[in-house]
A = this chain, B = another copy of it.
Amino acid sequence: MSKENTLDEHLLIQKYFSDIGSAYLAERNVELSVGDDAAVLNLNPDTQYINSIDTSIEDIHFLNSISPRDIAYRSCAIALSDLAACGANPSWYSIALTFPKADHLWLEDFASGLNDFSDEYKIPLVGGDTTKGKLSITVQVMGEVEKGKALLRSGAKENDLIYVSGVIGDAFLQLKELQKSQNQDTGFDAYLHPKAQIALGLELIDIASSAIDISDGLIQDLNLICKSSDVGADAHLSMIPTSVENKTLELINSGDDYQICFTASEDKSAKVNNISERLGVPITEIGKITNTKELTLFDHEGNKMDLESGYSHF
């Protein structure tokens, strides 16, 4: 559901929006603008603030059959995932909610999903806007990170190992089940209640050389690390963690995985394993950064796979 309906967002944003008002970045204390998971802002001498905004639309980003409570929680967790990939500690969020009619039961249930989210990440809702229209939720999140410590896409170096958190493709598999089933009670957490990997992002500070949220698809997002870091990558399909045996390109690049792909030098591998055990979050090595400036995915027989077809376009 998600891929064929999303824009090739990275290219669009780069082409049309990356330089708007860039003359004012320095005087407005903006350290990093359009192009990473989030913006980095210098608002006091010791701390950098990380800002991100994400829209979830009915029938594109979530099934219209899921409960308002799940819609609210999911929309917020998705937005927070960009902060996790920056190693930020969440501070607060605001939402712009567009909905077709003021149904009080619906709003009450939606608000309870926001409460779940606030309680899970211990952050308040600080503001919002409500408008009438087709259901759509835009969530803005702000977090903070010690100055200079934010995890960016741009730091990967040759020979760094490539890791991914969690299990890839579960949200995609669960969405397919949900589209067939009326019963949403159990077994759909990857789709209905995605977790932003905040704790992991915080632990990766001073360890990861680069990081990205892989919600647009693991391969596509790893490619953005390569482009931002001016490196290449060799990744192996067989090493990518999935819950089913048939690791197709469609599955591992399906998006909707609110996990972190990151790189770290080989001498950090014991620390990475230690973090995985401590947090109880699977972290799997899937390949290595190269100096080729090209991302290559090898299949089970060691042959290069054709990646073009796995990319999303408008």
Contacts and interface: CB of A to CB of B under 8 A. Distances in A.
B53 A127 contact: yes
Interface stretch (A18-26, A196-204, A219-227, A282-290): A18-26
A233 B119 CA distance: 40
A96 B53 CA distance: 7
A25 B130 contact: no
Nearest to A132: B5
Nearest to A125: B20
A55 B206 CA distance: 38
Given A94-B51, A96-B54, A136-B98, A33 B127 contact: yes
Given A102-B12, A130-B13, A314-B101, A123 B5 contact: no
A12 B130 contact: yes
Contacts of A98: 55, 57, 136
A165 interface: no
A61 B131 CA distance: 9
Interface stretch (A38-46, A156-164, A250-258, A268-276): A38-46
B130 A96 contact: no
A108 interface: yes
Interface residues of A, number: 72
Contacts of A191: none
Given A12-B102, A41-B126, A21 B51 contact: no
Contacts of A102: 7, 12, 314
Contacts of A123: 21, 24, 28
A8 to B, nearest CB: 8
A229 interface: no
Contacts of A126: 25, 30, 33-34, 39, 41, 51
A92 interface: yes
A27 B9 CA distance: 35
A34 B128 contact: yes
B111 A17 contact: yes
Interface string A47-80: 1010111110100110000000000000000000
A297 interface: no
Interface centre among A20, A28, A142 (most CB of B within 10 A): A20
Interface string A91-117: 110111010011000011011001101
Contact of A21 (B30, B125, B140): B125
11 contacts: A7-B131, A16-B110, A17-B125, A17-B128, A20-B115, A21-B122, A21-B123, A27-B122, A55-B98, A96-B96, A134-B134
Given A20-B118, A38-B127, 10 more contacts: A7-B131, A16-B110, A17-B95, A21-B122, A24-B122, A28-B122, A33-B126, A39-B92, A55-B96, A132-B314
